[in-house]
Structure 1
Amino acid sequence: MRKRQSRRWLWMSLALLLLLACLMVLNLVTGRRSAAGQGSGGLIALLTSPDFVVASLVAMTPLLLAALGGLFNELAGVLNLALEAIMLCGALAAYMGALAGHSPWVGLLLAIAVGMLIALVHAWFSVTLRVDQIVSAVGLNLFALAATAYVFRLRFGNVSQFPSAPGFGPLSFPLLSSLPYIGPAFFQLNALVYIALALVPVTWFVLYRTTWGLALRAVGEKPLAATTVGIDVQRVRYLALLVCGALAGAGGAALVSASGVNAFQENMSAGRGYVAFAAIVFGRWHPLGILLGVLLFGFGDALQIRLQAYGVNVPYQLLETLPYVITLLALMLLMRNARGPAASGQPYSNEGARALLKGASPPEEDEEKVAPASAGAILELRRIVKRFPGVVANDHVTLTIRAGEIHALLGENGAGKTTLMNIVYGLYRPDEGHILVEGRRVQIRTPREAMQLGIGMVHQHFMLIPALSILENIVLGTRPERAPLLDLRQAEERIAQLSRSLGLEISPYERVQNLTLGQQQKVEIMKALYRGARLLILDEPTAVLTPQESEELFTLLRRLRAEGVTIIFISHKLKEVMAISDRVTVMRLGRVVRTLETRQATPPELARLMVGRAIALTVVKEAARAGEVRLRLEQVQARGSNGQEALRGISLELRAGEIHGLAGVDGNGQSELLEVLMGLRRVETGRILFEGRDITALDTAARLDLALAHIPEDRHQQGLILELTVAENMVLDVFDHPPYARYGWRRFGPVVARAQQLMAAFDVRAPSPLTPMRHLSGGNQQKAVLARALGREPRLLIAMQPTRGLDVGAIAYVHRRIVEARDRGCAVLLISSDLDEILALSDRISVIYEGRILETLPAAAVDLTYLGLLMAGTRPEQVLQPQPQPQWLVSGDWPVT
């Protein structure tokens, strides 16, 4: 990918050189014709003259400096719209400094210092205080506009002419400056132009060939992932803002130099900051691309000046807008698919900067008061307490992990498992208690300290930077011998050995975003082992894996155990715990309930310890009585939010009285399918028929009125408005329908009555219908979503991840309600990444892979291995015969968790 990108910039550079050659020839021809009286040729000669090239380069210099500075901010995930303020203050500082010091270099240094000061203020607001970055920047722009005008008038009064400051004169290079055309065009420029041009390759080198540049790009792409490898996100962003301030301040000095009279003018940076951002976008966040972008603006600026001088019969006010119009047109025509630096699509996220709530370090205790370490223990946690506002996540937890074992940490979601391991890995600090590693008491304040102790962690949501290569992700945060230079070849051999040992036969230069989820997980494990992890923590590692990938993972974990690596396996799935662990610790409500040998445990006993009561471990349902086709999709195609094809000719039939399961690894088009069915995403081609009626063009409200309902995959982001009351959330889909509203007025009584009815029918536990939804537990919030969807007795229910984040008891309740809806004649499309859930509930199962339905099978006839192969993208004709199911997945009375 990087080679293709470099090749693209090479071709663009060659095109630029070709354009320069054409200008030289054209200028020579038109100049001779004009001299010979064969036509004016004046305008063309003017626009191709060396003076025009010089004017273009001088005009682009302030923008190039500011845009390069803005690039550092953008890649670090900080939006700095205060570029204009920095340039304006830098311009005034350069002007006054040059006058006072009788040298433009004094002015340049003062401009850089002022620029860094303003950037520091913006960093304090946006990074430390986390003020909205746009609000901070707009405030600074207004402040700079008023402050520079005030200081300028205070110093110089209302005189009509201002003194010119010493400026940067043209430099001369022996031999080069005397070359025809090229000499006066490129080798008689002022020093600032050469400094700006030299900073283009320097910026590239810093970003792509130094460890700090790698850290900066990682922080912008995924700050929490950068935090987990020991990178100080806040420090990196502060440094990026200071670099930006220095360069934008220098851009202000260049603005004074480009004015022609070496003088300051009020609001002289107007629009320049936004054009600098346009150049960053135009250049696709690459230094050479930015250079091409600002050259475009410089050309437009020089052109409007030349056209005015030539006497073109166009009002000068319109001519002055020419550079902005050219830049805007270029952005519209050439950058339709421009994409910001962040793979997640949120390049300005503050995630990771302060998202990790770190408590105070526990009080010091005398060493003699600490009990001696347990024999053979690699890790001991003693009376660990972690509090968050309104909840005790870990309540005096004591846990011992033996060296060389696979120790499962079992508990329902919210039991405190992940919080406890985040404390071990240094992401959180305990409020009380202490930690012993290999018998020595330690304080783990950061992930870097955890890694130095031989502790590694693979998080449930992978902490990889999608836009970086495997190699870059693995070495990110480490300190190579040749630091600060980034020498990837030094690490390549060792990483290749790790890759072969883990069965990841793929180029280390492959971008992570091109890997399957199973391959990404192996990269996470490699990342931990590369840092010398002797204790490896895996948080819900099979949540996104196919059965085959899960079996491969278990084989790998057993091999690592044999090599002496200790593994903590966090899960809420009983099957996995029984299959892989030596011992298991059950947590509930932040406390350790019991630790026992796995071979002595039974699934019903573990389930009872998790929930605190005996529960049914199987889904009880009768055979489906499928009726007529309720919904039909015919060759439906749709694009995802990234503009790429997400659904590729989906054809599917859903029948009344049937649960149709859609199996697949997350990210294969499931979310887009739900959005298409509910009218939330446009269909490119194909049709959607509901009870024979074409509803492809209907909006969401119209589909809801036809008795379609859905359970979204994320109840917080898509299902509920947490600041509204329970009652208001219960009627969100009918809030403007009678009897809840009349003539545009809400009716309070019917809304509360409806909420009370649904709360009773679906066991939604809340103090009252007027309680804000955010105060309910996760299980009750999900029940509220379910109640709203099923309360209107829909004819079609689309349930996506309906039990994600729920405990075993709540899962059983949701499953029962879905089966009851099926038995009433509702057609149900169940979309879930939990294969156990799909197998337990479905009457028919379709497998989706890369936006295509590979095969549809009766649930009763499904072979798990065959299904897993389909989920991995192996087409049916490629499978010679179904293989025996993995022993650990053979079910009888296994629970659906």
Structure 2
Amino acid sequence: MRKRQSRRWLWMSLAILLLACLMVLNLVTSRRATAGQGGGGLIALLTSPDFVVASLVAMTPLLLAALGGLFNELAGVLNLALEAIMLCGALAAYMGALAGHSPWVGLLAAIVVGMLIALVHAWFSVTLRVDQIVSAVGLNLFALAATAYVFRLRFGNVSQFPSAPGFGALSFPLLSSLPYIGPAFFQLNALVYIALALVPLTWFVLYRTTWGLALRAVGEKPLAATTVGIDVQRVRYLALLVCGALAGAGGAALVSASGVNAFQENMSAGRGYVAFAAIVFGRWHPLGILLGVLLFGFGDALQIRLQAYGVNVPYQLLETLPYVITLLALMLLMRNARGPAASGQPYSNEGARSLLKGASSREEDVEQATPAMTGAILELRRIVKRFPGVVANDHVTLAIRAGEIHALLGENGAGKTTLMNIVYGLYRPDEGHILVEGRRVQIRTPREAMQLGIGMVHQHFMLIPALSILENIVLGTKPERSPLLDLRQAERRIAQLSRSLGLEVSPYERVQHLTLGQQQKVEIMKALYRGARLLILDEPTAVLTPQESEELFALLRRLRAEGVTIIFISHKLKEVMAISDRVTVMRLGRVVRTLETRQATLPELARLMVGRAVALTVVKEEAARMGEVRLRLEQVQARGGNGREALRGISLELRAGEIHGLAGVDGNGQSELLEVLMGLRRVEAGRILFEGRDITALDTAARLDLALAHIPEDRQRQGLILELSVAENMVLDVFDHPPYARYGWRRFGAVVARAQQLMVTFDVRAPSPLTPMRHLSGGNQQKAVLARALGREPRLLIAMQPTRGLDVGAIAYVHRRIVEARDRGCAVLLISSDLDEILALSDRISVIYEGRILETLPAEAVDLTHLGLLMAGTRPEQAQPPQPQPQWLVSGDWPVT
């Protein structure tokens, strides 16, 4: 509501500003016209053909540069060097026209020089990965100095410079003679018509060609484009070359628009930045850009025409009018609109390195791996992959039989995903080799993997949210006949795949509107469309409800029956037992053992995963009678980082002495809820009551003083400062409180003593309290976070994904500590996407979906089917008649598939 009101005030301010300016101008020009100093009032001025022509000529350089900038913006490159390209292009156009005695020679020179400047920018920012803002500023300064030097060197310090041949006005025999329309629109120079023609042409290239689809994919999600075989670097280079050509032509248009067809030092005068503003103003669309540059053309023409009325003082003030209007418009538009190059890290070289989560330190007891077999569809022989400071894959040998579902089991950091990224061409092995159907191959890119019949569905889906299902599936495939984007032919085959996979949505539906389960089916369709015979699925159930998981398993069994081989990467024991024919266990980068699933047991697999016997269940006594309401949320609303509603009227109660589980698929408001509770995100509406006290307006420090504590979602990014010592991290929440500080001075002895106590109590294993936190394993880092949160005996604990990334043994330890906190009377809000964790620990369970609490149930009354429907946003009364629960979900009798 507040945001809506602020936007309304901004629009009103913009309208009032425009109205006031027009009223002043109308008053001034009317008086001047009456006094004989002008040809009429403001209306006559704005509607005259000369004014229309002047506006179109003034906007042409900006339109050409902005259309060029649009290409690299949509490719995910932030190019602020438009200023340099336009300035250098203007000098090249002037000198080329003089030397060649033709403006067309000048235009060609401007295009060539513009492409060269863009190529330099591409080399710095795309290849060398220099910060693009630094690269652009450097090029702008260089262009300013270089053009001035070359111009003076060539022409000296004469007061008048020769005029270059210019583009004359084109005449259309019939149209030019039409009253008003003829002189206004059909007697312009060629560059204006070229610029206007490029608007629909740009739209056609971006939205109707395969290269345009690849360009948009690279800008939206570069890693997803890489996984379908698109060369991200090549696409970005081409986008920058197009940008250079168009912005260079914009420089030529600057010379043409000068009126004397001559170059002036710094004649671009910020127009490169204006062109960039027009891209944002136009919402990254060619037609919107045209409207944006017309605004600036209008302003430039208005300045010139007002001189005829002798308006001198207001003229200086009105010079800034287009910029003020654009600033206000951007304040309105940018709140909900961000282009690809403004999202996240636009100019980083997003490669496959981001897939690596990091591996743990080495262990010594690894059993002998199963030797390779003949007749396998895929063989990996002694694969080694090293990263700085870690060996992610250590002489891995593995064989996959044709037509089987082969599970790759291991904890986070075991090397599973890295190994499969090598198979899919995202990484190259440092040692070893790969055989596909008995033939030794080198897989250097995902495109080569797809050509060998290998497809991969990543844990974090590699789909472009802004594109349709159809566009995502055909993305990266080579057109059969022409570079134009013909989706009709692909639609028929995709419709067949969609029916076979049970995806009953329009192929033209945008991916961002699909559920996560539907998105996963699109990923599988994308692989099958490319002819995948070996399908790799990385943690495929991480974001699925129980029903969606069972649908996926049924689909995988059908694919296996059709001859598709499947590698199923997981760290969940039950899933592996339920779906696989064979299972290979990895630990610390090595293959521990491969065995038939029907011969395996859960305790055995757990032991192989962590190297020791572990307890798979937590003994949790039934909660004593719950105490008073410790925390109450009343219709709490909040927005996420993208400005959209993340929490939509959440009401929830937590009582002392209970673990209240919050179940839901990731991305439904869980992160925002934790931030709201800890004072890290502003509440838009509603109240938060802690022990009856309204704490909605309190900051994080004040809430910590009230004995609230939390375990953040990501221990390394949100919970710890890895460069600080273990001791310093242990007291981060109370570092300025006695006895750890007094009068602003740290008491280091007290800090170390506290850390030693917590390390013993919570079994944090480190050489000393002074060891930097980055040197601890993931499990010990999580224990440190847990120790800090529970060491103060909080009255409310918010635990967000408390066991993510931990091995089986560490999970049991964390669970036991959370239960002990509950038994001491702490109210615990357990937020987890792991249903097993929620069901094992919770006394009551609430389900969150799209920022709303759909239902709260006692844990003993929870039905898995009921819970899964709620997680998918469907209430049981709205669902189809319930199907019997799969036996493997409710018993220990794992099916043999």
Give the CA deviation at 1:355. 5.0
**Structure 1 stretch displaced more, 373-382 or 652-661:** 373-382
Partner Cα distance (2:386, 2:257) in 1: 58
Partner Cα distance (1:531, 1:468) in 2: 18
CA separation of 1:279 and 1:124: change in aligned 2, threshold 3 A: same
Partner Cα distance (2:846, 2:365) in 1: 62
Give the CA deviation at 1:780. 2.0
Can you list the C-alpha shifts for 1:104-133, whole angstroms capped at 9, x where unaligned?
212211111111111111111111111111
TM-score normalised to the size of structure 1?
0.92
Residue in 1 aligned with 2:48? 49
Give the CA deviation at 1:657. 1.2
Give the CA deviation at 1:160. 2.2
Give the CA deviation at 1:7. 24
Partner Cα distance (1:144, 1:505) in 2: 55
CA separation of 1:31 and 1:706: change in aligned 2, threshold 3 A: closer
SS in 2 for 1:798: strand
Give the CA deviation at 1:363. 26
Partner Cα distance (1:628, 1:482) in 2: 71
Give the CA deviation at 1:884. 3.6
Partner Cα distance (1:358, 1:549) in 2: 26
SS in 2 for 1:9: helix
Give the CA deviation at 1:485. 1.1
Partner Cα distance (1:652, 1:367) in 2: 48
SS in 1 for 2:195: helix
Give the CA deviation at 1:351. 1.6
Give the CA deviation at 1:136. 1.2
Partner Cα distance (2:693, 2:388) in 1: 51
CA separation of 1:446 and 1:336: change in aligned 2, threshold 3 A: closer
CA separation of 1:140 and 1:357: change in aligned 2, threshold 3 A: farther
SS in 2 for 1:53: helix
Give the CA deviation at 1:518. 0.3
**Structure 1 stretch displaced more, 3-12 or 210-219:** 3-12
Can you list the C-alpha shifts for 1:548-592, whole angstroms capped at 9, x where unaligned?
000000000000000000111111111001101111111111111
SS in 2 for 1:662: strand
Partner Cα distance (1:359, 1:411) in 2: 14
CA separation of 1:777 and 1:308: change in aligned 2, threshold 3 A: farther
Can you list the C-alpha shifts for 1:721-753, whole angstroms capped at 9, x where unaligned?
333333332232223333333444444433333
Contact 2:361/2:588 (8 A) holds in 1: no
Partner Cα distance (2:96, 2:332) in 1: 42
**Structure 1 stretch displaced more, 722-731 or 558-567:** 722-731
Partner Cα distance (2:739, 2:26) in 1: 78
Can you list the C-alpha shifts for 1:218-262, whole angstroms capped at 9, x where unaligned?
111111111100111111111111111111111111111111111
Can you list the C-alpha shifts for 1:66-97, whole angstroms capped at 9, x where unaligned?
11111111111111111111111111111122
RMSD: 5.5
Residue in 1 aligned with 2:700? 700
SS in 1 for 2:30: helix
Residue in 1 aligned with 2:27? 28
Give the CA deviation at 1:337. 2.7
Give the CA deviation at 1:760. 2.8
Can you list the C-alpha shifts for 1:655-714, whole angstroms capped at 9, x where unaligned?
111110000111111111111111111112111000100001111111111111111112
Residue in 1 aligned with 2:192? 193
Give the CA deviation at 1:794. 1.2
CA separation of 1:27 and 1:796: change in aligned 2, threshold 3 A: closer
Give the CA deviation at 1:649. 1.5
Question: How many equivalent residue pairs?
Answer: 896
CA separation of 1:32 and 1:712: change in aligned 2, threshold 3 A: closer
CA separation of 1:194 and 1:7: change in aligned 2, threshold 3 A: farther
Contact 2:370/2:398 (8 A) holds in 1: no
SS in 2 for 1:733: helix
CA separation of 1:13 and 1:671: change in aligned 2, threshold 3 A: closer
CA separation of 1:18 and 1:380: change in aligned 2, threshold 3 A: same
Partner Cα distance (1:655, 1:46) in 2: 72
**Structure 1 stretch displaced more, 517-526 or 337-346:** 337-346
Partner Cα distance (2:453, 2:273) in 1: 47
SS in 2 for 1:820: helix
Residue in 2 aligned with 1:893? 893
Contact 1:81/1:137 (8 A) holds in 2: yes
SS in 2 for 1:19: helix
Can you list the C-alpha shifts for 1:319-355, whole angstroms capped at 9, x where unaligned?
3222322322333355543232379655444322875
SS in 1 for 2:352: coil
Give the CA deviation at 1:789. 1.5
The within-5 A match list for 1:44-193 is: 44-193=43-192
SS in 1 for 2:848: strand
Partner Cα distance (2:483, 2:880) in 1: 53
CA separation of 1:18 and 1:658: change in aligned 2, threshold 3 A: closer
**Structure 1 stretch displaced more, 27-36 or 807-816:** 27-36
Contact 1:360/1:429 (8 A) holds in 2: no
CA separation of 1:638 and 1:492: change in aligned 2, threshold 3 A: same
Partner Cα distance (1:64, 1:343) in 2: 21
Give the CA deviation at 1:44. 2.4
Contact 1:711/1:719 (8 A) holds in 2: yes
Partner Cα distance (1:266, 1:811) in 2: 68
Partner Cα distance (1:293, 1:28) in 2: 27
Give the CA deviation at 1:278. 1.3
CA separation of 1:502 and 1:167: change in aligned 2, threshold 3 A: same
Contact 1:360/1:431 (8 A) holds in 2: no
Percent identity (aligned): 95
CA separation of 1:446 and 1:368: change in aligned 2, threshold 3 A: farther
Partner Cα distance (2:13, 2:451) in 1: 45
Contact 1:87/1:249 (8 A) holds in 2: yes
SS in 1 for 2:794: coil
Contact 1:30/1:44 (8 A) holds in 2: no
CA separation of 1:39 and 1:478: change in aligned 2, threshold 3 A: closer
Partner Cα distance (1:485, 1:287) in 2: 19
The within-5 A match list for 1:837-876 is: 837-876=837-876
Can you list the C-alpha shifts for 1:816-850, whole angstroms capped at 9, x where unaligned?
11111111211110000000010011111001111
Partner Cα distance (1:446, 1:868) in 2: 38
Give the CA deviation at 1:881. 7.7
CA separation of 1:565 and 1:600: change in aligned 2, threshold 3 A: same
Residue in 2 aligned with 1:553? 552
Contact 2:598/2:896 (8 A) holds in 1: no
Residue in 1 aligned with 2:251? 252
CA separation of 1:358 and 1:861: change in aligned 2, threshold 3 A: closer
Contact 1:43/1:310 (8 A) holds in 2: no
Partner Cα distance (1:660, 1:415) in 2: 32
Query: Any gaps of 5 or more consecutive residues in structure 2?
Result: none
Contact 2:366/2:590 (8 A) holds in 1: no
**Structure 1 stretch displaced more, 765-774 or 266-275:** 765-774
**Structure 1 stretch displaced more, 375-384 or 693-702:** 375-384
CA separation of 1:727 and 1:88: change in aligned 2, threshold 3 A: farther
**Structure 1 stretch displaced more, 843-852 or 332-341:** 332-341
Contact 1:359/1:430 (8 A) holds in 2: no
Partner Cα distance (2:558, 2:390) in 1: 39
Partner Cα distance (1:645, 1:412) in 2: 35
Contact 1:865/1:885 (8 A) holds in 2: yes
Give the CA deviation at 1:362. 25
Contact 1:719/1:785 (8 A) holds in 2: yes
Contact 1:632/1:651 (8 A) holds in 2: yes
**Structure 1 stretch displaced more, 637-646 or 549-558:** 637-646
Partner Cα distance (1:822, 1:707) in 2: 14
Partner Cα distance (1:157, 1:354) in 2: 53
CA separation of 1:22 and 1:206: change in aligned 2, threshold 3 A: farther
CA separation of 1:52 and 1:335: change in aligned 2, threshold 3 A: farther
CA separation of 1:266 and 1:857: change in aligned 2, threshold 3 A: same
**Structure 1 stretch displaced more, 71-80 or 266-275:** 266-275
CA separation of 1:325 and 1:135: change in aligned 2, threshold 3 A: same
Partner Cα distance (1:291, 1:463) in 2: 33
**Structure 1 stretch displaced more, 200-209 or 740-749:** 740-749
**Structure 1 stretch displaced more, 757-766 or 58-67:** 757-766
CA separation of 1:94 and 1:752: change in aligned 2, threshold 3 A: farther
CA separation of 1:200 and 1:313: change in aligned 2, threshold 3 A: same
SS in 2 for 1:354: helix
CA separation of 1:9 and 1:95: change in aligned 2, threshold 3 A: farther
